[in-house]
A and B are shown apart, each in its own frame.
Chain A
Amino acid sequence: MPIIAISAGPFSRAQEVARLVARELNQPLVGRELLAEVAAQYQAPEARLVEALEQGPSLLGMHKALRARCLAYIEAALLERLTADNLVTIGLAAHLCVAGVAHLLKVRVQADLDQRAQERARRENLGEDRARRLILDEDKRLAQWSQFAYGLDEADASIYDLVVGLGQIEPEQAADIIVRTAGYRRFQAMTYSQNHLRELALGARVRAALIEDHPEATVGVVGSEVTVTILAVRRHQERKVASVRELAGGVAGVGELKVEAITDVFQEAAETMR
């Protein structure tokens, strides 16, 4: 069975659809509750993790480095779960942060604006006009967030394998369509896609281990062979390479570890001009 990543705008009844899909397939549903585990594992405040998943860029908002750190921790934990189980996931940006995995079925659940406004008005005891305005604002903010964090517009249908509209069908019928699509052979797990997912998970674990001390590091993985590339001025390279070796070398699953230092010529030039 494939892993199913469900995405939706707020108040689209996607949680209900995700629960139905998970129940039908007898698979666990992994959502925002994973953030409590991430917070405990990486000693990161849960509220910051939520903010990293929702807030777009703003002057007074979350610092870019902190957002990158939070997202790295979430990705590491999420990918770990994805490699361990067949599951359904929602609300953790799997559709944005997991690329090229053939057995990850990316689904967008779409309700029309009136339905969403009615749902929000009902839940929050608001007028429908106000609920509609709030939803439009939130959609705009989420579009900015997904562009900023992953360079993708999460409302763009072309990034999904399946888009299900709830305008004319009930959540049960939407879940049925998703379950049937998940049964197609093209979305089944294969050695290639499982290995690719394991490589992504290992890369994410290494990135999470490095991100506090080496936020600029890029990580490549082939099998268990990990290559970390860092940018540093020549006089700091030896120390930085040693630090990366220590941090990344301790990550479970790392086999051969290569650390490559690229000379930061701009930093060096800036230092000579001081």
Chain B
Amino acid sequence: MAEQPQILVVDDEPLVGKRLGPMLERLGGQVEVFSDPYAALLRLPKKHFDVVVSDVRMDEVTGLDILETALKISPETRVILITGYAMMSLARQAMAKGAFDFLAKPFTPDDLRGAVSRALGSLGFAVEPPQAKEQQSQA
């Protein structure tokens, strides 16, 4: 395991990646952001990622494809799916396929920080809980 957690963010809406990248870097991760899901799919076999955060609904390649590929290459990778089209059936399908967590857009920064922190924590990374970080930055 690398000392710095490796995080991959995939969302075909470039603005989302731009926002999520810096947020996750503040958790101590090294973050790669892809707005082209196909390029992200090609990147997965080349580098180990501890956490993958992916949108579900994208053209050609879906978040479920990213999930399946990521887990096939590295079963211990934690995949968090996000979507603006959340439904119970999709959420259950994602969890059954091995997603670590599932978030509906719009979500709060704390929701995502919490999910990623739990994912990293489950891999043995020491991550401050998001609220403690928030309080520090407010102070």
Contact of B91 among A184, A192, A222, A223 (CB under 8 A): A192
Chain A nearest CB from B56 CB (Å) reads 11
Give Cα distance in the complex from A188 to B107, angstroms.
19
Chain A nearest CB from B85 CB (Å) reads 11
B98 contacts the other chain (Cβ, under 8 Å)? yes
**Which residues of A from 163 to 211 have beta carbons under 8 Å from B?**
184-188, 190-193, 195-196
Give Cα distance in the complex from A187 to B91, angstroms.
9
Q: Which residues of A contact B114 (CB under 8 A)?
A: 191
B103 in contact with A192 (CB, 8 Å):
yes
Give Cα distance in the complex from A48 to B111, angstroms.
40
Q: Which residue of A lies closest to B98 (CB)?
A: A185
Give Cα distance in the complex from A102 to B114, angstroms.
19
Q: Which residues of A contact B96 (CB under 8 A)?
A: 184-186
Q: Which residues of A contact B91 (CB under 8 A)?
A: 102, 190, 192-193
Contact of A187 among B92, B101, B106, B107 (CB under 8 A): B92
A101 in contact with B88 (CB, 8 Å):
yes
Q: Which residue of B lies closest to A161 (CB)?
A: B92
A195 in contact with B104 (CB, 8 Å):
yes
Q: Which residue of B lies closest to A187 (CB)?
A: B92
B74 contacts the other chain (Cβ, under 8 Å)? no
B93 in contact with A190 (CB, 8 Å):
no
Give Cα distance in the complex from A102 to B101, angstroms.
12
B136 contacts the other chain (Cβ, under 8 Å)? no
Give Cα distance in the complex from A252 to B123, angstroms.
36
B73 contacts the other chain (Cβ, under 8 Å)? no
Q: Which residues of B contact A196 (CB under 8 A)?
A: 104
Q: Can you name 24 A-B residue pairings with CB atoms under 8 Å?
A: A102-B88, A102-B91, A102-B92, A102-B95, A184-B96, A185-B98, A186-B92, A186-B93, A186-B96, A187-B95, A190-B99, A190-B101, A190-B103, A191-B101, A191-B115, A192-B91, A192-B104, A193-B88, A193-B91, A195-B104, A195-B107, A196-B104, A222-B106, A223-B108
Further contacts, 6 of them, CB under 8 A, given A190-B103, A193-B102: A102-B92, A187-B95, A190-B101, A192-B91, A195-B111, A223-B108
Give chain B's interface residues, CB within 8 Å of chain A.
86-88, 91-93, 95-96, 98-99, 101-104, 106-108, 111, 114-115
Top 3 closest pairs, chain A to chain B, by CB: A186-B96, A186-B92, A102-B91
